[in-house]
Amino acid sequence: MKAIWAMALMLGCGTILAGNLQDIPLKDINGKDTSLKAYKGKVLLVVNVASKCGLTPQYKTLEATHRKYKDQGFSVLAFPCNDFGSQEPGTNEEIKEFCSSKYDVTFPIFDKLHVKGPERHALYTALSGEGSPFPGDVKWNFGKFLIGKDGKILKRFEPKVAPDSPEVTQAIEAALAAK
């Protein structure tokens, strides 16, 4: 019986450790293995993006927000997603070219992934799954999650909330001011 409890305890601890956002394996837009460890100690705005969406012009305000706060320890992180209306059909190379040429994007872009459904990436399971402080499926492209310096999820913003809205700006500034 003690062995069963010990095993359950070990499995439970593994689940907690697996929930650390910084440990989740990712790939950048060039296919290189990475993780959020590269951004440890920074405030992050994680956004699922698409190039053929009515909200695609948010790239402009995402870039402006990134540039405004990047020297203070902030970064936007973009995760292309084709889960909503097939609005991100491009290859990683096409996505990178689109973001660069159309919106002069300088923030990091990652490999295309799924944010919902049975193929949902582990990052989005952590961000929006049952164990998240803000559970519930991502509703559309340009859903945003604010991550604190400690790697914890601080806020969630729905797709139509603009990156430069007072709501988002105040949350970013508060997260940057936190110790």
> Is 53 marked active-site?
yes
pLDDT on residue 2 = 41
What are φ and ψ of residue 70, in 5° steps?
-60, -35
Q: Considering only residues 7 and 168, tell me which one the structure prediction assigns the higher pLDDT.
A: 168
| 13, 53, 81, 99: the active-site residue | 53
pLDDT digit string, tens, across residues 107-139: 999 999 999 999 999 999 999 999 999 999 999
Percent of residues in the chain assigned helix, strand, coil, to nearest 5: 40, 15, 45
Residue 43: predicted pLDDT: 98
Note the pTM of the prediction, 2 decimals.
Answer: 0.88
Q: Are 49 and 159 in contact (CB under 8 A)?
A: no
Is 18 a residue whose pLDDT tops 90? Answer: no
Can you list the domains of the chain with their CATH numbers? 2-177 (3.40.30.10)
| Contact by Cβ (8 Å): 80, 109 | yes
